[in-house]
Chains A and B, each alone.
Chain A
């Protein structure tokens, strides 16, 4: 549950008193995925160095494009859509994730210089760092690691008390195009409310109908609500950490532009 480690009282008071302006943009999922593609393209062509968006979408399931044939050939996507959970496809890796009320997303696109071989681990840590720091500012000790039984599990979830708060995935492009760098799209899905039984059941059903043997467990996830944190406090803290990144750790030089896209 709620970790109350070194709580910066002044910071917490400031965030709790922050105006209720929400940085969260609401998109249809198709538009959100299109926006992510535009962010990555803007970085890949050198137009931007570091762009980000915090967003939410309507209820659906989102699977990596690599799973499309398996899902559609089995008719599993149609069954999920008929149950009110249409399946959309993204171009980052990982597994099936939910979207909808109670979930917000952080998408970041940035350039990696080709001065050294890029590290997947470091890139995930760069994505998770503002989330971990924002939670820390609110008194929650978070770390990075796997959570068995969580949706779209991997080595780089943001976890609190061994439960998954945020899942992550990435897409890297640009190698070999003579632009001298990689462009990275990094995405984190964060839980505002606990995932519902139905949400977990719908992912299990999609897996089952697609011939994928995987069973999820609802209680291995943790949400802001369960941590006693309001969304506005968290997004305010997250915004501060995103905007403060005047020197992005993967860049040789500070990005010229840091802004919401």
Chain B
């Protein structure tokens, strides 16, 4: 069963959009849970989001896409 990669609701307090700046693994790559997977930027602050599970990465939102807290940006299956 696929696990969603979600922008955490509690990563930052402000109601601000973020931009995906960099996926640290490519679409279809095998990733490990707990390892940094994607970077997003809000207000010149770069955040790291870790992989929520082990598995194969499917990217649904790409670099330069604008995202909000709670958005699903990929899955790990």
Name A's B-contacting residues (CB within 8 A): 64-66, 91-95, 116-124, 152, 154-156, 168-178
Contacts of B39 in A (CB 8 A): 65-66
**Nearest residue, chain B, Cβ from A176:** B50
Chain A binding site: helix, strand, loop or mixed by DSSP?
loop
Contact of B12 among A64, A118, A152 (CB under 8 A): A118
Q: Could you tell me if B44 and A172 are in contact, using CB atoms closer than 8 angstroms?
A: no
Name B's A-contacting residues (CB within 8 A): 8, 10-14, 16, 21-22, 34, 36, 39, 41-50, 52, 63
Q: Could you tell me if B43 and A172 are in contact, using CB atoms closer than 8 angstroms?
A: no
Q: Could you tell me if A168 and B44 are in contact, using CB atoms closer than 8 angstroms?
A: yes
Contact of A118 among B13, B34, B49 (CB under 8 A): B13
Q: Could you tell me if B21 and A66 are in contact, using CB atoms closer than 8 angstroms?
A: yes
Q: When A and B form their complex, which 7 residue pairs have the shortest distance between CB atoms, in order from nearest?
A: A66-B21, A94-B44, A93-B44, A170-B45, A119-B13, A93-B41, A93-B46
CA distance A121 to B45 in the complex (A): 10
Q: Could you tell me if A120 and B41 are in contact, using CB atoms closer than 8 angstroms?
A: no
Q: Could you tell me if B14 and A120 are in contact, using CB atoms closer than 8 angstroms?
A: yes
Cβ of A182 to closest chain B Cβ, rounded Å:
9
CA distance A156 to B16 in the complex (A): 15
**Nearest residue, chain A, Cβ from B37:** A176
Cβ of A69 to closest chain B Cβ, rounded Å:
8
Q: Most A CB atoms within 10 A — which of B10, B13, B22, B46?
A: B46
Q: Could you tell me if A169 and B45 are in contact, using CB atoms closer than 8 angstroms?
A: yes
Q: Could you tell me if B44 and A170 are in contact, using CB atoms closer than 8 angstroms?
A: yes
Q: Could you tell me if B34 and A92 are in contact, using CB atoms closer than 8 angstroms?
A: no
Q: Could you tell me if A120 and B50 are in contact, using CB atoms closer than 8 angstroms?
A: no
**Nearest residue, chain B, Cβ from A169:** B44
Contact A175-B41, Cβ < 8 Å, known A92-B46, A170-B46: no
Contacts of A64 in B (CB 8 A): 21, 41, 46
Contact A120-B16, Cβ < 8 Å, known A155-B43, A173-B48, A176-B49: yes
Contacts of A91 in B (CB 8 A): 46
Cβ of B22 to closest chain A Cβ, rounded Å:
6
Q: Could you tell me if A175 and B13 are in contact, using CB atoms closer than 8 angstroms?
A: no
Contacts of B8 in A (CB 8 A): 175-176
Having A172-B48, A176-B8, one finds 5 other A-B pairs with CB under 8 Å, namely: A93-B44, A118-B11, A120-B43, A173-B36, A175-B49
Q: Could you tell me if B41 and A66 are in contact, using CB atoms closer than 8 angstroms?
A: yes
Q: Could you tell me if A172 and B41 are in contact, using CB atoms closer than 8 angstroms?
A: no
